[in-house]
Every structure is written in structure tokens, then in C-alpha cells.
Structure 1
Amino acid sequence: MATQIKPAASALPATLPVSIDDVRAAHARISDQIVRTPTLVSRTLSDLTGATVFLKFENLQFTAAYKERGALNTLLQLSDAARAKGVIAASAGNHAQGLAFHATRLGIPSTIVMPRNTPTVKVVQTEGHGANVVLEGDTFDAAYAHARVLEAERGLTFVHPFDDSRIIAGAGTTALEMLEDVPAIDTFVTPIGGGGLISGMATVARAWPTPVEVVGVEAELFPSMYNRVNGTHMPCAGDTLAEGIAVKEPGGITSTMVRALVDDILLVSERSLEEAVSLLLQIEKTVVEGAGAAGMAALLAHPGRFAGRTVGVVLCGGNIDTRLLANVLLRDLARSGRLARLRIRLQDQPGALFNVARIFDAQRINIIEVYHQRVFTTLPAKGLITDIECEARDRAHLDRLVAALREAGYETTTVELA
């Protein structure tokens, strides 16, 4: 999508549902009840991308996501009668936890409807924040529909995860803090799911005294907002690492605001998302979920787009399954050549594996696992395949090992990742 520079704040339509005054009022309302997370420069990521990169660590909120801001802003504006009856939401992610935590803290009953296939850890975490969790349906749409039924039956207040002006204003406080802390920021690179965060941040950017470009980021598998604003029809489906922004239909309010305020939307691959999660852990020592790393993924995938800019990136969430995180880190090690699986053809005779191991020793490469395969191969009966998982210093170190194995007469291939 080509960059579309939007009009100055004075030329914006007066009908947009959220203004800079709404964001400032939200910040005054919630600021003493949330963490003012730091906005810090990353010298290493700046060197990697050619931009000056400032990271906003929203993964340091109590529930590890920016979603607390909009949820709290909404809760604090409820009437006494609405507070007494309670609130309800449909969510299997960060919105559920942020709403449940602050509702419980304020003495407001909360009900969260989740699909029946929601991972147990998310159900337990949400219940741990004091919510009544209802499991209904096999999809988010089914859970959402049931939540609206319960809303009507019980007189509860439904709190939408993104398509609500109070949610958007609360999310916008993220940008307000970033620009107050680092006025030099001239570009926001922001994940887009339903569009609440980027709508709030763009509201602040357009009202700021100095120009701030606003660039949204979606996973390639779920380009829903890109489709909406560009009239395209790319499919929205698949297993994305960025499940927090895997939204099939963006909001009506947020779509209007994105069209009016956002300059550009970029799409990032699963590989870029994995690389961003891994780099943030290795370089910044911070755990970020796939959606939270989407902004960083865009900088890595499109360095020329941001070269020379002073970029603000929101690490909007840190709730990632530990096993998934381990897989991401191991895959990144494999892609960098520091971890590999080599498939080597051997003769089934004494000393065969020993002689191969001597080459690994000579190259000072550590063997982690060895897998012998004698039966399920296409080789003759006296042949065998050995897969050896090993650890090298880098890609060049690994390449020297493969060259040494082939020079010694061993047919050697690398088992590549997708």
C-alpha cells in the first residue's frame, strides 16, 4: 500500500468520534491506576534498522498489555447502576484480563465469555483476576453472540475490545505518554487488530504540534483493516503467531478513523514476526507476544521505509505461551545457523558414527542429539540415515562443518525450516 499522507489536524473531519481532548481526559482519569511504562531507545535495534527506535514497554502493565488503558477508561465512566449490575465481554486474550483485573479492583462484577477451545492457562488467568468465565461456542463469533445474549438477559454493560470511543481514547494515552517522554518521535509503527490502538494513537499524532506519521502493521494472514480501507479481498485465515491481532472484521468506528488518520498499512510475514519476538528477547531482554512484536517486525522487514526516522514502537503485549516462545527461539537459532539438523548417509558398519563424530570434534561443533534410521529409508539394507542435531557459533561455522563432511565423502544435507 502506498503511503498516503493525511491532512493536517485542522483539516480533519469534525465528525470523528474521538478527539485529542478525549484522550487527555482519559489519561487524567486513569493515569494513577496504571503503569506509566517507559519509552526507551534501543541502540542495537536502531543499528539493525537504520532508524532511531524507541520502544514503549506496554508488556510491563500488570496484565502485560496496553488493553488495561481502554478497559479502565470505560469502567470509570459507568454509572453507579451499571457498575452494580456488572460488565461483560467476549475475549480470549488481553482484553479479558485487563477488564477483569480493573473491574475486580473497582468492585464491579465481570463476566467474560470465551470459546470452549480457549487454552486452559488463559481461562485460569482470567478467573484469577476475579472474572466469572463462561465457555460457549467453538469460535470467537459464537462467544461474542452469547455475550450479547447475556448482556440483554442480565442487564450487563458490554465492553467491546476495540470498537468503542472510550476504549479508543484509553488506548490513545499510550501515544500521549510516548510523545511527552520523547518529543522527537516522528513516526509511530503500530499493530492493527480491530483498530482500537492505532485509532487512539493516530488521534494524538494528528493533534501534535510537530508532524508524526502513523503506520499500521498487520499479519499477512489477517489483512482485515488493509482490505477494509483499500477495497481488497485478501483472505483472513491461518495460524498466525500474532493471534492478538488476528481479527477477521475490524470495527466500524475504527475503520472510519483509520481511513481518516492513518498514513500507511504494512503487512508482515510469520517469519518476520518470529524474528522480532526473538530479537526483542535477545537484545532487550523482554518477552513480547507475536502481536506485540508486529511493529518491530515491520521495521525489520521494511528497513528502507523507516531509515533516518525517529520511530516509536509499542510493545503492546507480552502474553505468549512459554512452549510457543521456546519454539520461536529455537527456530530462530536454526535460521541463523546456530542450531541445525544434518542428514548424513552412512554405511551400516562398526565405527561409522565414530568417524563422523570425529569430524564434528575437529570442527568444534557440539552434538546435541543423534537419530539413527535403518528401516524407513529408501537406502539399501546396508545403508542408514543419521540425523544429527548440532550447535554451531554461526552460519559460517556450520558451513565449514558441512564442507568437511562432504570432503570426507559423506552425503550430507541440511534439514531446512519452512
Structure 2
Amino acid sequence: MLTLQDVLQAREKMKGTVHHTPLEHSQTFSQFSQNEVYMKLENLQKTGSFKVRGSFNKIMTLSEEERKRGVVAASAGNHAQGVAYSSAMIGIPCTIVMPKGAPLSKVQATQGYGAEVVLHGDVFDESLEYALQLQKEREATFVHPFDDLAVIAGQGTIGLEIIEQLPDVDVVLCPVGGGGLLAGLAFTLKQLKPSIQVYGVESSACPGMTEALRQKKPVTIVSADTIADGIAVKKPGGITYQYIEKYVDGVVCVEETEISRTMLYLLERNKLLVEGSGACPLAALLYHKVPFKGKKVVAVLSGGNVDVTLISRIIERGLVESGRFVTFTTIISDKPGQLNKLLRIIAELEANVMSIHHQRIGAKVLPGQAEIHFSLETKNQDHIHRVHQVLINEGYDVEFFQ
């Protein structure tokens, strides 16, 4: 059984190793959601996510003999870096098994903390199976990403910090995948202030905890691809489920478009780079997935490890979803001045042309015509609609893509 003393001891162990992360008030998001919104910035944590808390606490519980034999973990992301960093801090051997297709940046980051990285399997489940095999062969300790009481206690230290930073907090929103963070956070908060409401947030593309609560036990679900890959867990933990069922007030889901828009909001309005899973709690608040207003709400932004190659795609997707970028094609007469006429109309509508592609050959292009492909920077969905209507009124046959 987990106790509050376990969480307090975890905090003592990690002093000087793990950051006490800021709690930042957001006027912008407070106005959007009609609540007083605070953000717990775990994206600024060591290794870029909260995962280092649980992994460090777990490793600190090992005996001297267990430390000599080292630790093994399986991960393609934040858990890998958390375990690697924690192992380096106390100088023990560490092996991380990652899928062969893991992003090079994450492999290099994990190696940079001194871990041995073994690439095995095409998917995480294959990596996990091999990691468990290595753990037995080497008689090492397996560091589970979520379903372990020491890991849960380590994640619960975020709850201690939130209460100290905002004693009159009403609601805390937290991402949930396997459930380690939500279980530890909810348990700790309810011990300190039973009146607090705690909600978990997951992607509707992988609603593992929602289904577990519905069926009253952890089950394996079929999931779709999600931008919130950090919480894309098909089966929540058995231990974490028990604590979540007891201490959490509800679990809600957010859509992919809502996550991507929130990531863009955070980047643009607050200059914060937050990964998809970390943006889920704020997305739930901004898109009114939780039933309250006028409350003091903390959204836990759990991590900021976004692969560099994906940042531009996230920004572009967010711009499209918010109506600030659009593409369309139209056919014009291939005569001098026709393109200039079309450009003048677009300029008068205050849309900014980002790119133009001009071609005279195509299935819909007749001799004497040209097909024009435009990319425009726009203001919002209403602006796109106005551009569309004006072009139709001017006699252009346009096809918009979003």
C-alpha cells in the first residue's frame, strides 16, 4: 500500500537531482476557459518530462547488490531518458531497449546519459519482451514505466509541489496513459486536501483508462495513431488502476485536432514547447471537456520532448486546424494578366500568399487553361469562408483543401 510518507520520502531522495518545477498562471487560458488557469511546467523538468521523478525514486530503493547488477527498461521516449539519467546520477549500469524505428534524437539523448541502448523489435511490445529477457539474463532490476509503487510515489511528488505553490487549488488535470502519474498525483492530492477534484485526460484515439473504468478492470484496447504518443498505452497498469478508481473524479478524452491546436497555443502564446500528451490537460480545459467554471485549475504539462522533425508538422497542422493556413486550386485562362487579376482579389481579401504552383497539364485542364495551386495564410475559418465565397462570386471554380 502506498502512503503519504512514501511520497514525502521520495521528495527527500530527489532533492538536488530533480527540479522543483514552476507553476505559472496564464491570463490567456484563464479567459478562454472561464477559470483561473495555472500550468505545472513538467516540460521544464530534467530530461524534459516528469518521468525522471518515478524512475529516480525506484532506483534509489535498490539495495547495493541490486545497484551493482544495474537496471533494464523498455521505452521509446521519456521513460528511457528518465531511467538513463537517474542511473547516471548514482552511477549504476543501465540498459534501455528501444524499437528499431525509435527517433534518432531520442536514441542519442538516452545514450548521452550513459545508458546502453539496444535496438530490438519493430514495436514497443517486442522491445518490452526482449527487455524482460535481458533483465532475467543479467539478474538486473526492471524499472517499469508506471505499474510500480515506487514509481507512483515518485510521480506523486508533483502533488506536494502543487499544494505548496497553490494551497487553494480546486481542480487538477493530468494526462493519463499507463496511469503512474495520475495515480501518484491523485493519491497525494487527496491525502493533503480531500476536497480537490482530480481528472485524467487521454486522447480519444487511445482511451485505455476510459475503457478500464467502464469495464471495471484494465483491458487491452485497439488504438489509433495519436499525436499524444506519450500516453498511447493500450492497457493501463493493474496497480495504477486501483488508485485511479479510488481517488480520481473522472477521466475525459480530447480529440487530435484539439491537442494540436493547444500545442500551437502554448508555443505561440506562452512560448512553451509541450508534447502532445502534455498538452492534453489544457486541451480538456480549453475545449470544455470538464464540468466547471470559475475554479482555480492546475493543468499538468507533463513533458516537452517533441522530435525536432515533427515540430514544423505540428505547427502546420495547428495552423490548418485553427483556420490560419489553407490551400486551394482553381483553373484560369492561360492569358497575360489573368493570374495578376486573381492575386489582386486575394490581396484585397487580406489573405497572404505563401506559395503558388502553376501547371498547364492535368486531368481537369483544357488547352488554353492553367491550374493554379495556392497556399494562403489566413486569419480564421470565417476568413477562409469569405475568401471562398468571393472567389466563387468572381466566377472561379475553386477546390479548397484543409
In 1, Cα distance between the equivalents of 2:193 and 2:132? Answer: 41
In 2, Cα distance between the equivalents of 1:306 and 1:137? Answer: 44
Q: What is aligned with 2:239?
A: 253
Q: What is aligned with 1:119?
A: 103
Is the contact between residue 40 and residue 55 of structure 1 (CA under 8 Å) also seen in structure 2? yes
TM-score (ref. length: structure 2): 0.95
1:121, CA displacement in angstroms?
1.4
Q: Output aligned runs, 1:61-100, within 5 Å.
A: 61-100=45-84
In 1, Cα distance between the equivalents of 2:8 and 2:56? Answer: 14
Is the contact between residue 334 and residue 368 of structure 2 (CA under 8 Å) also seen in structure 1? yes
In 2, Cα distance between the equivalents of 1:36 and 1:206? Answer: 20
Q: Output aligned runs, 1:165-184, within 5 Å.
A: 165-184=149-168
1:237 matched to 2:223? The reply is yes
Q: Output aligned runs, 1:178-197, within 5 Å.
A: 178-197=162-181
The residue matched to 2:357 in structure 1 has which SS? strand
Is the contact between residue 329 and residue 400 of structure 2 (CA under 8 Å) also seen in structure 1? yes
Q: Output aligned runs, 1:152-171, within 5 Å.
A: 152-171=136-155
Bigger drift between 329-338 and 179-188 goes to: 329-338
1:47, CA displacement in angstroms?
0.5
Is the contact between residue 257 and residue 321 of structure 2 (CA under 8 Å) also seen in structure 1? no
The residue matched to 2:66 in structure 1 has which SS? helix
In 2, Cα distance between the equivalents of 1:76 and 1:243? Answer: 28
In 2, Cα distance between the equivalents of 1:383 and 1:83? Answer: 74
1:400, CA displacement in angstroms?
4.2
Q: What is aligned with 1:311?
A: 297
Percent identity (aligned): 38
Residue ranges of structure 1 left out of the alignment (5+ in a row): 1-16
TM-score (ref. length: structure 1): 0.91
Q: What is aligned with 2:316?
A: 330
- For each residue in 1:266-316, what CA deviation from the matched residue of structure 2 results, as whole angstroms up to 9, or x when unmatched? 011111111111111111110000011111111122256231221111110
CA RMSD of aligned residues (A): 1.8
In 2, Cα distance between the equivalents of 1:334 and 1:229? Answer: 34
1:404 matched to 2:393? The reply is no
- For each residue in 1:44-94, what CA deviation from the matched residue of structure 2 results, as whole angstroms up to 9, or x when unmatched? 101001111110001111201000101111111111111111111011111
Is the contact between residue 190 and residue 217 of structure 1 (CA under 8 Å) also seen in structure 2? yes
Matched letter for residue 213 of structure 1:
Q
The residue matched to 2:198 in structure 1 has which SS? strand
Bigger drift between 169-178 and 365-374 goes to: 365-374
1:355 matched to 2:330? The reply is no
Q: What is aligned with 1:54?
A: 38
In the alignment of these two chains, the number of paired residues is: 400
The residue matched to 1:160 in structure 2 has which SS? coil
The residue matched to 1:377 in structure 2 has which SS? coil
Is the contact between residue 50 and residue 303 of structure 1 (CA under 8 Å) also seen in structure 2? no
In 1, Cα distance between the equivalents of 2:80 and 2:141? Answer: 14
Matched letter for residue 260 of structure 1:
K
Matched letter for residue 245 of structure 2:
R
In 2, Cα distance between the equivalents of 1:400 and 1:227? Answer: 42
Q: What is aligned with 1:365?
A: 351
In 2, Cα distance between the equivalents of 1:218 and 1:396? Answer: 30
1:397, CA displacement in angstroms?
4.3
In 1, Cα distance between the equivalents of 2:12 and 2:158? Answer: 13
- For residues 222 and 364 of structure 1, do their structure 2 counterparts lie closer, same or farther at Cα, with a shift above 3 Å needed? closer
